[in-house]
Copies of this chain bind each other. A is one copy, B any other.
Amino acid sequence: MARKLALLVAALVAVASPATALWPQPRNITTGSTALRLSPGFTISLSSIDGAPEDLVQAVTRTESYIKTDKLGRLVVGRGSSDVAAYSRAKTLSQLTLSLSHGAKVQSITTEAQKPLEERDEAYTLTVPSDGSAAKLTASSTLGLFHGLTTFGQLWYENDGTIYTMTTPVDIEDSPAYPYRGFMLDTARNFFPVSDILRTLDAMSWVKINTFHWHVVDSQSFPLEVPGFTDLAAKGAYDPTMVYTSADVQNIVAYAGARGIDVMVEIDTPGHTAVISQAHPEFVACAQATPWSTFANEPPAGQLRFADPSVTQYTTELLHAVAEMFPGTMLSTGGDELNTNCYDADAETQSLLKSTGRTLEEALDVFVQAEQKTLASVGKTPVVWEEMVLVQNVTLSSDTLVLVWISSDDVKAVAQKGFKVIHAASNFFYLDCGGGGWVGDNPQGNSWCDPFKTWQLGYTFDPLANLTTDEAKLVMGGQHLLWTEQSGPENLDPIVWPRAASSAELFWSGAGGNVTSALPRLHDVSFRMRQRGVNSINLQPLWCALRPDACDLNA
């Protein structure tokens, strides 16, 4: 009952699926076809690392646990029963030894993960011999070792109680193509308990995503408890049970750091701030004004009166307090979808502009510069949405990172202005697109950004399209994003996974990946995630997942 042929399109030439199911695919890898069993007494040794940091010790324990509890049957007909002959004759591996390259400074994974993008060292080297002699994982940072442990954990399958791999010897030299590989979650349209965020951080780390872009607050709710500004959550959270306390944030930041993930929090300003009017009505223009579509891109309307010096002071103090909650170096002040009707209709703003003789754009420039000055004072790199560069054209510090969301076509213009770019385009990476529209009183109810953004679309994205060599250097990486107007804990895992893994490989392994050879590995990602408690969905009938390429367009 499904006219699959209705969309027959020119097909790529299918290529053989790789020997291993590693995701993201290492930059340099050679594998053999010799089976190797894991010894029941297998251990991962840190003995060569003096003063191994606690988060590395825990990562080792977690890796040992995953290898023993994944119990993932290989995705072939028979789920590995056909491997018995090979692995029953195989040698057994008793140890993986970790070591840091000579002279490397021993710092925690967390410390390494929270460094500025340019200073992170995520590279590692992994060798797994076929003869049972110790496997070796080396790196010049604990962050590199962490990524190597993640890779090592993806090598193993289980059949009938035996844990084994079919592809030794393995030789890997790996490092990311791009320093920024993120995932954005909106916790303001709908709330997610801490446990959902922690589970998501685990899944992110399994595919080497290194940045959690946390769009924590927006016009609908303010679930973040900020020291000194607790009235914002007290009056702006959906419910007292729907608040991220300071302790929750510490927990999330630490959990992320220990998994090689930096938390980039976003306090979206001056737009998307209606909720601030709950605690400070005097700071917000057109709060809940109607018709909302005249004053905002989505309900409720409400934007900070940035022309007001007291609002600027309040905002910078708030940013300062938020900055102190997050040890990472990137912090987003948003800046998207600013609506000028809101200010044209706001008497206070108009009189403020008149008294200062400033235009709205000039006042915004003053406001944004004050924000950036505050971030600089606490050592944060500012991050903004593309409109700040392409629409409002405000003065931004040259190190500002720009999130391009409206269209990937805008990347060129941002790069031409010399700003660093993070790919976050709605036409490639919005996980909510194509799921139907959420605005009421709409008989059709289609999504504003139809169609659905498939994993294939994100996977085949070209991060450097139309860029000169110099402009290309400004591309820091990219991410998938989940806006949650129609999401919540009920569909978090299935709407994100395994799709978000497609950009994780794109920005680690580099562009040019082939969807046909990627699919069997992506099945592996999804099935392994399920074994670890993440509800990652099926991309094909199991019949196809067990028969690589049998369900290809022209198979």
Residues of chain A having any CB pair with chain B under 8 Å: 1-9, 11-12, 14, 79, 188-191, 219-221, 238-239, 290-293, 297-300, 336-337, 385, 405-406, 426, 432, 434-452, 454-457, 460, 481, 483-491, 493-495, 515-516, 519, 530, 535-544, 549-555
**B549→A487 contact, CB < 8 A:** no
Instruction: Supply 27 A–B pairs (Cβ within 8 Å), ascending by A.
Output: A1-B483, A2-B432, A2-B448, A5-B293, A7-B442, A190-B541, A291-B554, A293-B554, A299-B551, A436-B454, A437-B456, A438-B544, A440-B516, A440-B519, A440-B544, A440-B549, A440-B555, A441-B549, A442-B515, A446-B454, A447-B452, A485-B541, A486-B538, A487-B537, A490-B538, A491-B537, A494-B495
Q: Which partner residue on chain B sits nearest A184 by CB separation?
A: B1
Q: Given that A455-B445, A490-B493, A553-B293 are known contacts, is A540 also in contact with B440, CB under 8 Å in the complex?
A: yes
**B442→A9 contact, CB < 8 A:** yes
- Of the candidates A2, A293, A443, the one having the most CB atoms from chain B within 10 angstroms of its own CB is A2
The secondary structure that dominates the A interface is loop
Q: How far is the CA of A491 from the CA of B490 in the complex (A)?
A: 9
Q: How far is the CA of A439 from the CA of B542 in the complex (A)?
A: 12
Q: How far is the CA of A191 from the CA of B489 in the complex (A)?
A: 23
Pick the residue among B189, B434, B536 that contacts A452 (CB under 8 A).
B434
Q: Which partner residue on chain B sits nearest A10 by CB separation?
A: B443
**B490→A238 contact, CB < 8 A:** no
Residues of B within 8 A of A450 (CB): 434, 450-452
Q: Which partner residue on chain B sits nearest A336 by CB separation?
A: B1
Q: How far is the CA of A46 from the CA of B484 in the complex (A)?
A: 45
**B437→A454 contact, CB < 8 A:** yes
Ranked 10 nearest A-B pairs via Cβ: A445-B456, A441-B552, A491-B494, A445-B454, A220-B543, A436-B454, A440-B552, A490-B535, A189-B541, A441-B516
CB distance from A379 to the nearest CB of B (A): 26
Q: Which partner residue on chain B sits nearest A385 by CB separation?
A: B1
Q: Given that A189-B541, A515-B443, A541-B485 are known contacts, is A6 also in contact with B448, CB under 8 Å in the complex?
A: yes
**B297→A3 contact, CB < 8 A:** yes
Number of copies: 2
CB distance from A411 to the nearest CB of B (A): 16
Q: Given that A490-B494, A494-B494, A552-B440 are known contacts, is A220 also in contact with B455, CB under 8 Å in the complex?
A: no
Q: How far is the CA of A530 from the CA of B489 in the complex (A)?
A: 11
Q: Given that A238-B542, A293-B553, A483-B2 are known contacts, is A7 also in contact with B454, CB under 8 Å in the complex?
A: no
Q: How far is the CA of A484 from the CA of B191 in the complex (A)?
A: 29
Q: Which partner residue on chain B sits nearest A239 by CB separation?
A: B79
Q: How far is the CA of A443 from the CA of B458 in the complex (A)?
A: 10
Residues of B within 8 A of A550 (CB): 292, 299-300
**A443→B12 contact, CB < 8 A:** yes
Residues of B within 8 A of A530 (CB): 490
Q: How far is the CA of A261 from the CA of B540 in the complex (A)?
A: 30
Q: How far is the CA of A490 from the CA of B457 in the complex (A)?
A: 22
Residues of B within 8 A of A491 (CB): 491, 494, 535, 537
- Of the candidates A406, A440, A449, the one having the most CB atoms from chain B within 10 angstroms of its own CB is A440
CB distance from A107 to the nearest CB of B (A): 35
10 further interface pairs, Cβ-Cβ under 8 Å (given A4-B298, A299-B550, A451-B451): A2-B449, A3-B449, A4-B293, A300-B543, A434-B434, A434-B450, A434-B452, A436-B456, A438-B541, A441-B553
Q: How far is the CA of A419 from the CA of B332 in the complex (A)?
A: 62
Q: Given that A452-B450, A541-B190 are known contacts, is A291 also in contact with B445, CB under 8 Å in the complex?
A: no
CB distance from A201 to the nearest CB of B (A): 19
**B541→A484 contact, CB < 8 A:** yes
Pick the residue among B11, B337, B544 that contacts A299 (CB under 8 A).
B544
Q: Which partner residue on chain B sits nearest A541 by CB separation?
A: B189
Residues of B within 8 A of A438 (CB): 539-541, 544, 551
Residues of B within 8 A of A1 (CB): 336-337, 385, 405, 426, 481, 483
Q: Which partner residue on chain B sits nearest A386 by CB separation?
A: B1
Q: How far is the CA of A550 from the CA of B189 in the complex (A)?
A: 14
Residues of B within 8 A of A537 (CB): 486-488, 490-491
Pick the residue among B9, B297, B442, B552 that contacts A553 (CB under 8 A).
B442
Q: How far is the CA of A210 from the CA of B344 in the complex (A)?
A: 56
